[in-house]
Structure 1
Amino acid sequence: MNLDTFDDKGFVSLFDGNSLTGWHPAPRIYGTVRPGGPHLLDMFDERGIARPVEPEKHPAVWHIENGYIVGEQEEPGCGYGGYLVSDDTFADFELVLEARPDWPADTGIMLRRKRDSWEGFQVLLDHRESGGIAGFFGNGLASFSAVPFAVVSKKDAQGRIIGLTADDPATSVEPVTQEKIDRLSYAADVNDFLKVWRWDDWNEIRIRCVGALPVITTWVNGLKIAELNTETLDSPDYDPAAVLESLGNRGHLAFEVHDNDATFGEARWGTGAQCRWRNIRIKDLGETEVPA
């Protein structure tokens, strides 16, 4: 297992350690399933899934504590999620940050996100049973899933959670299929990931995003985890031309507090769970022009 080394010159901070200057909270509201497609709430209706009740009135809570950002549900166990969105937009960049999520806390980092809707590329930080970490999901982009592996909790003899271990696709509530792995141009081995992940501690996540339809690469604590080419991605109903038209070649960053949906409930975000963020910094890599 080889860990990558990086040139950390040229980064600028996106968090001053004392305030949310440069960021704003946004509730977890939905748009279309894909550019030009049906609205997600209409699909909820078709499938008999209850719509969230006025989620726009229940954003997640974000505050500063001991020099880091804390994200949590508005009230512990309320079930409503939300985002912390960057005021600025970014095109091609390298983003580095440290995260410390509780268990279970289904969070993530959005790239090229629209300001007032949910569309964007998401780097997963699904710190929960059968969760994917540092893989990808397409919010409002045909819900594509491209992940190298999933994890579950590891317990001691008394049943206390003491770390992570590999998910078993045969018993998984959200199995990683070969199809999901094959969407990646690079996929790390879960056992290598487990060697570098720090349980109940801070973990460094690095994301490189380059191109109008970007190639997105992720690292955790120096280990390359996954790489996705969103221009050549093959997934049901995913249309790269429509995605580029919808998102353009730049967008907002965002951190997520997930809601408790009908599938996972509190297994997705536990009562009182938090995710913490610090040392958030970015390097501008220019701007790829959108083809005429």
Structure 2
Amino acid sequence: MTVRRIATLLVGHATLAAMPALAAPDKDGVEMREISPGLTLPFRALAPGLPPVPDYGKAKAPPLPVAIPEGFTPIFNGRDLAGWHVSKTSRHGTAPVFEVRQGVLMGMQSAPGQGGQLVTDRKYRNFELSFDFKPDWSADSGVFFRTTEEGAGYQVTLDYVSSDRAYTAGPGLNLGSFIGEGGVQVGDVPATSPKLDPAQAAAKPQPDYAHPPIEPVPDFWKREQWNHVRIRVAGDVPHVTVWINGTQVSDTTDTANHAVGGMVAGPIALQVHGGWQRWRPGDVLRWRNIAIRELPKDAK
């Protein structure tokens, strides 16, 4: 045996000797340690001579805090999709993945390009909607209201997409914009961009959302963190105001009621955008603390 090998073994024995021994076990033979205030875990050695380590499989964490503003009523219970359903006719897709984990509603495409909408069973007229939102960069989403199951209605956008549509003027301005969706328009602004002829389309640069650009984000937005969103909708001709993290980011009234059939009450829907240019494989949207305060019929 070489001198180096002997020295290595001696160091190893010294390290093992210095390791803390298991404390006296409880009546079940498990050592309990408080690793932080209020969090106690069982510790056990995974093999003879190894130091004890936390056994997280037996952890009992405290419940996550629920933050519902005063006067609001939860419409997501933090456990399952009660009160909601996946649209079977949405143009963005009919089989999105919506799951609840640790009090968080998670939305994903079920396959590349296949998004969809999670829709409230109830219809709402005038309301304030409050929720926390944490999307992956650069997943595209929005909140629909007074919408059909197919997705023709009004929308408050919640995405990082910069486009040539008239309602955007630069990066980040789709965070909290009031637009029409699925052919519905707001004011005199078309819901879709003017069609380009083939030559123009070929010359137009196409976004690569598989490798999204690092664009500047407004000061009010916390990228890759939880953001608080509040949306107020009032009036048969909707007046829509949006706050993100306490900052008012838009305040718009439509020129007329452009909802399908002139509806003044309809479902609320959460969007997982379809297509692959606005969604990287594996992207996830997250919502929590979804709550609503209904307003009087004559609210403006």
Tell me which interval the TM-score lies in, with the shorter structure as reference length: 0.5 to 0.7
Stretches of structure 1 lacking an aligned partner (at least 5 in a row): 1-6, 31-51, 147-159, 167-193, 233-239
Name the amino acid aligned to 1:68. Answer: V
3-state SS of paired residue (2:120): strand
- Higher-Rg structure is 2
Provide the C-alpha distance between the structure 2 equivalents of 1:27 and 1:105, rounded to a whole number of angstroms.
22
Cα deviation 1:49-93 (Å, max 9, x = unaligned): xxx9xx54xx21100011110000013xx2111000000010111
1:239-278 to 2 correspondences below 5 Å:
240=256, 243=258, 246-260=261-275, 265-266=276-277, 268-278=278-288
Provide the C-alpha distance between the structure 2 equivalents of 1:17 and 1:244, rounded to a whole number of angstroms.
31
The equivalent residue for 2:107 is: 71
Name the amino acid aligned to 1:22. Answer: G
Alignment pair present for 1:120 and 2:153: yes
Alignment pair present for 1:133 and 2:143: no
The equivalent residue for 2:216 is: 165
Name the amino acid aligned to 1:220. Answer: I
Name the amino acid aligned to 2:175. Answer: I
Provide the C-alpha distance between the structure 2 equivalents of 1:67 and 1:26, rounded to a whole number of angstroms.
22
Change (3 A) 1:223 1:28: farther
Do the aligned partners of 1:103 and 1:128 also contact (CA within 8 Å) in 2?
no
Provide the C-alpha distance between the structure 2 equivalents of 1:285 and 1:16, rounded to a whole number of angstroms.
21
TM-score with structure 1 length normalisation? 0.63
Alignment pair present for 1:109 and 2:143: yes
Provide the C-alpha distance between the structure 2 equivalents of 1:244 and 1:123, rounded to a whole number of angstroms.
14
Change (3 A) 1:12 1:164: farther
Alpha-carbon distance, 1:9 to partner: 2.9
Do the aligned partners of 1:68 and 1:276 also contact (CA within 8 Å) in 2?
yes
Change (3 A) 1:204 1:163: farther
Alpha-carbon distance, 1:29 to partner: 3.1
The equivalent residue for 2:6 is: none
3-state SS of paired residue (1:17): coil
1:169-248 to 2 correspondences below 5 Å:
194-230=218-254, 232=255, 240=256, 243=258, 246-248=261-263
TM-score with structure 2 length normalisation? 0.61
Provide the C-alpha distance between the structure 1 equivalents of 2:214 and 2:247, rounded to a whole number of angstroms.
18
Change (3 A) 1:133 1:244: closer
The equivalent residue for 1:176 is: none
Cα deviation 1:124-169 (Å, max 9, x = unaligned): 01134545110022013137479xxxxxxxxxxxxx9997515xxx
Alignment pair present for 1:85 and 2:146: no
Change (3 A) 1:125 1:251: same
Provide the C-alpha distance between the structure 2 equivalents of 1:120 and 1:8, rounded to a whole number of angstroms.
27
Name the amino acid aligned to 1:69. Answer: L
Change (3 A) 1:273 1:199: same
Provide the C-alpha distance between the structure 2 equivalents of 1:287 and 1:142, rounded to a whole number of angstroms.
23
Alpha-carbon distance, 1:249 to partner: 1.1
Match of 2:292 among 277, 282, 287: 282
The equivalent residue for 1:24 is: 85
Give runs of ≥4 in structure 1 deviating > 2 Å: 27-30, 127-131, 142-146, 160-164
Provide the C-alpha distance between the structure 1 equivalents of 2:288 and 2:215, rounded to a whole number of angstroms.
22
Change (3 A) 1:66 1:228: same
Name the amino acid aligned to 1:252. Answer: P
Stretches of structure 2 lacking an aligned partner (at least 5 in a row): 1-67, 163-170, 192-210
Cα deviation 1:232-282 (Å, max 9, x = unaligned): 2xxxxxxx35x256142111000001111xxxx43x011110100000010
Larger RCO: 1 or 2 (CA < 8 Å, sep 6+): 1
Provide the C-alpha distance between the structure 2 equivalents of 1:118 and 1:247, rounded to a whole number of angstroms.
15
